[in-house]
């Protein structure tokens, strides 16, 4: 699991956004995300939102090398990526811009809606497509 964390980029995100507290907010459990170098986290990621930002953690059995993360909305950009018949939302983070976190369209849309006012006028990539 630690090797996947390094290859996929979770370890780099953790250096910038490690979170050791108790997250309070809306949480979607057992979700899937894709990261760089083909690292896929299928049905093992908890994704949360609150007024301040985005929370990511992995199921406890997959946790070695994967500390919880919390990223403030002001440090996040998102872009809708359309590929053939599918689309996903790709999230990028200021202090680790080389690490994309790709989330399915349905959940990505819900996260964008939850961010709401926090991103108003601050995210030039919001809803743009590639």
Q: Domain coordinates of the chain in residue numbers? A: 2-119
48's CB contacts (< 8 A; 6+ apart) are: 23, 25, 26, 27, 28, 54, 55, 56, 57
Assess whether pLDDT exceeds 50 at residue 98: yes
Give dist(CA 75, CA 98) in Å, integer: 13
CATH number of 2-119: 2.30.29.30
| pLDDT 10s digits, 5-24 | 777 888 999 999 999 999 99
| pLDDT 10s digits, 80-95 | 888 777 889 999 999 9
């Amino acid at each position: 699991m630690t090797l996947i964390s390094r290859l996929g980029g979770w370890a780099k995100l953790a250096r910038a956004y490690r979170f050791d507290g108790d997250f309070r907010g809306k949480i979607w459990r057992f979700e899937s995300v894709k990261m760089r170098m083909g690292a896929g986290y299928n049905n093992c990621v908890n994704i949360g939102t609150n007024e301040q930002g985005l929370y990511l953690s992995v199921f406890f059995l997959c946790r070695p090398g994967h500390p919880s993360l919390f990223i403030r909305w002001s440090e996040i950009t998102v872009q809708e990526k359309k590929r053939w018949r599918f689309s996903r939302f790709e999230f990028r983070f200021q202090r680790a811009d080389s690490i994309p976190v790709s989330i399915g369209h349905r959940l990505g849309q819900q996260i964008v809606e939850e961010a709401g006012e926090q991103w108003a006028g601050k995210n030039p990539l919001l809803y743009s497509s590639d």
